[in-house]
Amino acid sequence: MGRRSGIHVDPRRAEPIYRQIFDRIVDRIQSGAFPAGHRLPPTRTLASELGAHRNTVVRAYEDLETAGFVLSTVGRGTFVAPRQPSPRVVAPASNGAAHGQPSIDLPWSSILSTAAMGEPLGRFDRLGRGYARSDLINLTRMQPSLDLLPDDLFRRCIEHVMRTLGPRALVYGPREGLPRLREVIADDLTRQGVPARADDIIVTTGSQQALDLAARALCNPGDPFLVENLTYGGAISVLTAAGAKLISVPSDEEGPSMSALSRLGRIGAKGCYLMPSCHNPTGLSVSPERREELIAWSHDAGVPFIEDDYGADLNLDSEPMPPALRSLDGNVLYVGSFSKKLIPALRVGFLMCPAPIRPVLVSLKHALDLGTSVLLQHVLAEFLERGYMRAHLGRILPEYRARRDALEKGLQAHLPKSIRWRHPERGVVAWIPLPAGWSPEAICDEARRQGVLVSPSTLYSVDPRPPPGIRLTFCAEPAERLREGARRLGKAFAAAAADRRLETRAALEVV
């Protein structure tokens, strides 16, 4: 205990004063106000001026010295440390020419791999660009808005982990992920009806890495791989980068077409990627009956499924989720994520895989990244163990439901009456099918001009002419902006319809 003006002060309650001292001195050193060699006030003097406990000032000075900002000498005082000289940067000569050598460009177009130049990898640059407008309403961003991120709860977990584990949270961890986190993920999956043990799970750097590991483990360059005719663009990119030859499977209202799969079952496909629940981009769910048929087909054809369940727990209506494919068959590779229901920047996902291929996947992961952040794994485990996820879902699901309803009301008011869509029961996307002959990219271009961003079906297919439609997300914008976005989209549809009438009239005049 210390004293300040005759009042006992607990040094543990002096944290704001400590931060004030530390940050103020660092700011002045970095701005040049305190040059190298500048002598800081004695700790006793500064403590008296600030009305702080001297131990607080001593701790701040010690941490400044540890960080290299100051130097302390017994009997002389504490001084600002000399700055390290900045390395001298030599600008390279144009086109790599140096030391009088001739300028020669390497033939990069022939050096790059075929997979790296795959068309799907450049789609976002071609179709995902936006206009520089401050009032753009973004119905393409598939992440929670800032007000729905649990920053305070997450901060508590970070502080607890650092306080209790210290440097042990800052080291490399087990290749397959922390046992603590794998255990709590397994418990959570079992709650959702997906039987799981910690030993079944590999923690990954986001679900995207889980897809990458599965693709690398299953595919040789040129191997056939099955995807739905509309599917997640990130999976298309990962499989393309692995060198797979992607083959489109048409779908109906219940899921992937069984007749199409029967025709494709003997082509040597190395796998089939599906999102049976909360499909992206369409929002559809595979029926329970079709799921049973899919598992039977997988056994008969010898083709494994990669099941992407990114939307687990994002159930907006009262209908229960159908059983996961993984709960029906242990041969399914099951991919999960915390990006949509928790924090996108967390970048922690997981892969549940059959036991025979687990060592291969663990070795691949270790070769790629040497392990997912141990600090973030500990923090996520703490978050889940405290029951914060349950509280967080209780907050965001009603908000997602309200945002979905606001978007749908806006669409009903402003889109042409001929446009119909399926009510989104799960997830965070709404899919708007377009009539035959309408160009999704033309609608998206006109929507940008009207001030709203939407995504065309060409981002989500390997077919040159995919089923025409546009995807809208309702997680990243509040209800009032979603209603306004629907109004602007209605104007885009009206402008596109007018252009179509002009094109038709011009064609008739030519005839």
The number of folded domains in the chain is 3
Predicted pLDDT of residue 93:
52
Predicted pLDDT of residue 126:
61
Q: How far apart are the first and last CA of the chain?
A: 95
Q: Which domain holds residue 201?
A: 150-386
Contact 437, 510 (CB under 8 A): no
What's the CATH number where 349 sits? 3.40.640.10
Mean pLDDT of 459-469: 92
- pTM score, whole prediction: 0.80
Give the pLDDT confidence of 241-291 residue by residue, as tens digits.
999 999 999 999 999 999 999 999 899 999 999 999 999 999 999 999 999
| DSSP 3-state of 137 | strand
Residues 135 and 43 in one domain: no
Predicted pLDDT of residue 109:
74
| DSSP 3-state of 245 | strand
- The reply to whether 85 falls in a domain is no
Q: Does the pLDDT at position 162 exceed 50?
A: yes
Residue 8's pLDDT band (cuts 50, 70, 90): very low
**What is the maximal distance between C-alpha atoms in the chain?**
100
- The reply to whether 111 falls in a domain is no
Predicted pLDDT of residue 504:
44
Residues 322 and 360 in one domain: yes
Q: Does the pLDDT at position 507 exceed 50?
A: no
Residues 370 and 399 in one domain: no
Question: Rg for the chain (alpha carbons), in Å?
Answer: 29
Which is it for strands 201-204 and 349-352: parallel, antiparallel or unpaired?
antiparallel
DSSP 406-435: HHHHHHHHHS-TT-------BSSEEEEE--
Predicted pLDDT of residue 29:
87
Residues 340 and 231 in one domain: yes
Give the pLDDT confidence of 333-386 residue by residue, as tens digits.
999 999 889 999 999 999 999 999 999 999 999 999 999 999 999 999 999 999
- The reply to whether 107 falls in a domain is no
Cα 347 from Cα 276, distance rounded (Å): 22
Which is more confidently placed, 427 or 13?
427
| DSSP 3-state of 273 | strand
Predicted pLDDT of residue 416:
94
- The reply to whether 67 falls in a domain is yes
Residue 419's pLDDT band (cuts 50, 70, 90): very high
Residue 180: both structure tokens together: 């603590």
Predicted pLDDT of residue 179:
97
Q: Does the pLDDT at position 12 exceed 70?
A: no
Beta bridge partners of 351: 202, 335
Residue 505's pLDDT band (cuts 50, 70, 90): very low
Residues 183 and 38 in one domain: no
Which is it for strands 349-352 and 255-256: parallel, antiparallel or unpaired?
unpaired
Residues 162 and 290 in one domain: yes
What's the CATH number where 32 sits? 1.10.10.10
Mean pLDDT of 496-507: 60
Residues 129 and 222 in one domain: no
| DSSP 3-state of 93 | coil
Q: Give residues with Cβ within 8 angstroms of 28, minimum separation 6.
A: 34
* Domain boundary residue, one of 386, 405, 439: 386
Predicted pLDDT of residue 510:
41
Q: Does the pLDDT at position 477 exceed 80?
A: yes
Which is more confidently placed, 12 or 300?
300
Residue 86's pLDDT band (cuts 50, 70, 90): low
Q: Does the pLDDT at position 324 exceed 80?
A: yes
Residue 489: both structure tokens together: 């989209």
> Sign of torsion, CA 312 316 317 318?
positive
| DSSP 3-state of 246 | strand
DSSP 7-42: EEE-GGGGHHHHHHHHHHHHHHHHHTSS-TTPBPPP
> Sign of torsion, CA 416 419 425 427?
negative
Residues 323 and 410 in one domain: no
Which is more confidently placed, 273 or 67?
273
Residue 168's pLDDT band (cuts 50, 70, 90): very high
User: What H or E segment, with its residue span, contains residue 162?
Assistant: helix 151-165
* Domain boundary residue, one of 53, 80, 107: 80
- The reply to whether 218 falls in a domain is yes
Predicted pLDDT of residue 95:
54
Q: Give residues with Cβ within 8 angstroms of 381, minimum separation 6.
A: 178, 180, 181, 184
- The reply to whether 343 falls in a domain is yes
Residue 48's pLDDT band (cuts 50, 70, 90): confident
Residues 123 and 184 in one domain: no
The average confidence (pLDDT) of the chain is 88
What's the CATH number where 466 sits? 3.90.1150.10
* Domain boundary residue, one of 355, 386, 417: 386
Residues 167 and 307 in one domain: yes
- The reply to whether 156 falls in a domain is yes
Cα 387 from Cα 212, distance rounded (Å): 30
Mean pLDDT of 41-62: 88
Predicted pLDDT of residue 221:
93
Predicted pLDDT of residue 402:
97
Q: Output the CA–CA distances (angstroms, integers) from residue 95 to 90, 98, 104, 307, 430, in the order listed.
A: 14, 9, 7, 46, 48
Cα 305 from Cα 228, distance rounded (Å): 12
Contact 334, 327 (CB under 8 A): no
Predicted pLDDT of residue 32:
84
User: What H or E segment, with its residue span, contains residue 158?
Assistant: helix 151-165
Percent of residues, the chain, with pLDDT higher than 90: 68
Taking CB atoms within 8 Å and a gap of at least 24, the contacts of 120-127 are 120/233, 120/236, 120/237, 120/240, 120/462, 121/237, 121/240, 121/241, 123/233, 123/458, 123/459, 124/233, 124/459, 127/441, 127/444, 127/455, 127/456, 127/458, 127/459
Residues 318 and 463 in one domain: no
Predicted pLDDT of residue 123:
65
Mean pLDDT of 118-138: 68
Mean pLDDT of 420-426: 95
Q: Does the pLDDT at position 236 exceed 90?
A: yes
- The reply to whether 102 falls in a domain is no
Predicted pLDDT of residue 17:
81
Residues 378 and 418 in one domain: no
Please tell me the total number of residues recorded for the chain in this structure.
511
Q: Give residues with Cβ within 8 angstroms of 316, minimum separation 6.
A: 397, 400, 401, 404, 424, 425, 426, 427
Q: Does the pLDDT at position 130 exceed 80?
A: no
Give the pLDDT confidence of 92-125 residue by residue, as tens digits.
555 555 555 555 778 877 777 777 767 776 666 6
Mean pLDDT of 4-27: 63
| DSSP 3-state of 500 | helix
Beta strands in 1-135 (DSSP E): 2-4, 7-9, 70-73, 77-80
